[in-house]
Structure 1
Amino acid sequence: MLRGRIEEFSDDGLGVLVVGGKRIHVPFAYPGDVIMVRDMKKRFGRLIARDFKLFDASPIRTTPKCQHFGKCGACLWQGLEYGEGLKFKAELFERITGISAPIKGSPRIWGFRNVSNFIVTTEGIGLKEYGSPSKVVNLSECPLFSRRTPEYLRALKDFLSETGLRPWNLKGKAGDVHYLQIREGKFTGEVMVNLIAHTKPPEEVVEALRDYFSFADSLYWSVKRDERDDPRGNPEFIGGNPFLSERIGDVTYLIHPYSFFQTNSYALPILLKAVENFTNGEKVLDLYSGVGTFGVYLAKRGFNVEGIEINPFAVEMANKNAELNGVRARFHVGRAEEIRIGDYDTVIVDPPRKGLKEAGELLVKSGVERLLYVSCNPRAFKLDYENHLRKAYRVEEAVLVDMFPHTPHVEAVIKLVR
């Protein structure tokens, strides 16, 4: 057993204990905590504490709201004062990227998530334990997602009980139902339910799903053809409205089960405003455009927008969103790595967590004067900048928006100019 004081956070938000010549990363521990590590493991070249005892709590600690805190992997920082967490997020971002940027907090820090993927297993129904791919926290609540979480989980359990459908066995790779995805329109009150299963349902099972989830405004059944542990499948519309609608300021968005949409509806207006403030000129290219979150918003403000997105469902939604909001924006299916970047005043990129990679070189070779890089992964930005973007661009300004309260993650909008 090793005892000492947590002095700092690692880049990924774990408390760091240095004692006995060892550097131990401790989840759910914060600078100022005095702890004793009782068990640890080696993972990816570093020591991770699996169990620790708190002897003296840091003054920046607070009482967590969720009874599952400390096991569930969804929120490492729920035991940390929110304002302190904001400061640490800005510090970690600067440590990783070298960029000092102001941070804007989320207007709501509870019930802010508009989507949650509950894994349905023989071990329980809920979310994964921190650091464990095969252990599940059997949830009874989730204050980050919704006050209605108990209602959603109860409906699922009753549905499984009546139909006899089997939860997924993580170790045996067998079963029927693997995930329950719930989306909420925080400003519209709408609910979308998407059951992700390994079998196509007979009509009596579909009827049971409609009965138990009668509160859903939109209902889908997705058939999963592989054994990968992710909430993906081929969606089949079951009932209600085919799309969920969400209202962000003066823009209405339609959302499909498998189209990306920012997870915090309450902080999204702050993010959109930051992008607007950094956008210059008339012609805007929205790469990785999703359902048109940035593109439609900017078009509403008079910009001429074109978007590129690899997901055809998302492109369909983006064009519907442009039409619904009466704006001049066009979205096309395409790979960011393969398109020819034409004459644009500003290009916005919101890449997946792996970053731009090859698309970065296309931007360097383009004539675009202004590039806005939106990302929740500062390491990916750093690699993209050092490997590609710095050949043609310099960082002029940045702003951070806390889209993910109670976690170490933060969304950045970085303005680069040629």
Structure 2
Amino acid sequence: MLKGRIETLSDDGLGLLHAGNKTVHVPFAYPGDSVRVKSTKRRFGRLIARDFELLEPSPLRATPKCGHFGKCGGCLWQGMKYKEQLKLKAELFERITGISAETRGSPRIWGFRNVSNFIVTTAGIGLKEYGNPLGVVGLSECPVFSKRTRGYLRALRTFLAETGLRPWDLKRKAGDVHYLQVREGKFMGEVMVNLIAHVRPSEEVLEAFVDYFSFADSIYWSVKRDERDDPRGEPLHVSGEELIRERIGNVTYFIHPNSFFQTNSYALELLLRAVEGFADGEKVLDLYSGVGTFGVYLAKRGFSVEGIEVNSFAVEMANRNAELNGVSATFRVGRAEEARIGDYDTAIVDPPRRGLKEAGELLVKRGVERIVYVSCNPRAFKLDYENHLAKAYRVEGAILVDMFPHTPHVEAVVELVREG
């Protein structure tokens, strides 16, 4: 049994307890907390507390709003005052990257998520338990997602009871229904429901599904053909609209079950404004353009935009978004590492979590004057900068936008200007 005070946080937001020659990572603990760790486990070379007692609370603490806090893996920092969350995000970012950045908080810290993937298992229906790959927290609420969460889950449970469809067994990797994905257009008020299942539905089952989720504007049933524990499948449009819409500022976006869209609609405009503020010139290259989230927004503000994205479906959606908004933006299929980079004034890059890697070297060689790097992974940015971009670019500015309240994560927008 180890006892002591949490003095600081790990890079991934866990409280660090130094006791003798041991360092224990304590989830849901914050600087200033006095704790007693009752048991630990070793994971990825670290000692992580499995059970701990809070002896004296930190002045950073706040009363969590969700009754599932402390077990659910969704909100590691919900027990911390929001202004302290923002300070610590900036500190962690600077510790990892060496860059001091202004932090812009989310306009809303409750009900801000526009999508939630509820796992449907024999152990419960809800979200994953923190630190336990086979554990599921049976949810009754989710205040970071929606006030309507209870209704969504009630409809799902009743539907399963009537049809006899089996929840997924995480240990045996067997069952019928694996996830319920719900998307909300926060500003447009539209709802999309997508059931991810390992079976094709009968007509009778589909009829019941539509009845129970008749409140949704768009209803999908996605067939999952693998055993991976993720909310992905081949979508079948069942009822309602093919797409829902979300409006950010004066830009409207179409959303499909397979679309990646930033999860915080309220903070997204802050992110887009930060990108716009660092962009310069007239011609913009939108690398890893996705569904055109950045490119369409910038085109609406007068930039001439060309986007490149490897996912052909995302490119189709981006071009539809450009047409919907009547802007000068063209998106095409291509790999970032092989892109023919022409005469652009600014390149916007929002790479996957692994970072740019080889595409970083391409940008260095092709001479784009300015890069606006968007990332929720500061380690990947640091590697990209040190290994590639620093050969030709200096950091001119940085803004952090809190897209993920109550977690250690933050979205960074870094302005890089070519030297020489």
Tell me, yes or no, whether TM beats 0.5.
yes
Shift of 1:357: 1.5
Map residues 19-418 of structure 1 onto 2, 5 A cutoff: 19-418=19-418
Paired residues of 1:256 and 1:314 also in contact (CA < 8 A): no
Q: Distance in 2 between matches of 1:84 and 1:135?
A: 30
Q: Distance in 2 between matches of 1:379 and 1:385?
A: 10
Q: Deviations over 1:356-398 (max 9, x none)?
A: 1221111111110100100111011011111111112111110
Aligned residue for 2:385, secondary structure, equals helix
Could you list the runs of 5+ residues in structure 2 that have no partner in the other structure?
Answer: none
What letter matches 1:374 in structure 2? V
> TM-score scaled by structure 1?
0.99
Q: Distance in 2 between matches of 1:157 and 1:333?
A: 41
What letter matches 1:2 in structure 2? L
Paired residues of 1:221 and 1:236 also in contact (CA < 8 A): yes
Show structure 1 runs of 4+ deviating over 4 A: none
Shift of 1:245: 0.1
Identity %: 78
Q: Distance in 2 between matches of 1:311 and 1:120?
A: 28
Aligned residue for 2:204, secondary structure, equals helix
Paired residues of 1:6 and 1:29 also in contact (CA < 8 A): yes
Is 176-185 or 335-344 further displaced after alignment?
335-344
Q: Deviations over 1:37-93 (max 9, x none)?
A: 001011111110011000100011010000000000001000000000100000000
Shift of 1:289: 1.1
Q: Distance in 2 between matches of 1:340 and 1:25?
A: 45
Paired residues of 1:34 and 1:54 also in contact (CA < 8 A): yes
Paired residues of 1:285 and 1:344 also in contact (CA < 8 A): yes
Q: Deviations over 1:170-226 (max 9, x none)?
A: 000000100111100000110001110111111111111110100111111111110
Shift of 1:119: 0.6
Paired residues of 1:40 and 1:49 also in contact (CA < 8 A): yes
Paired residues of 1:259 and 1:311 also in contact (CA < 8 A): no
Once superposed, what is the RMSD of the aligned Cα atoms?
0.8
Q: Distance in 1 between matches of 2:207 and 2:316?
A: 28
Shift of 1:160: 0.7
> TM-score scaled by structure 2?
0.99
Paired residues of 1:256 and 1:313 also in contact (CA < 8 A): no
Could you list the runs of 5+ residues in structure 1 that have no partner in the other structure?
Answer: none
Q: Distance in 2 between matches of 1:158 and 1:254?
A: 30
Paired residues of 1:24 and 1:49 also in contact (CA < 8 A): yes
What letter matches 1:299 in structure 2? A
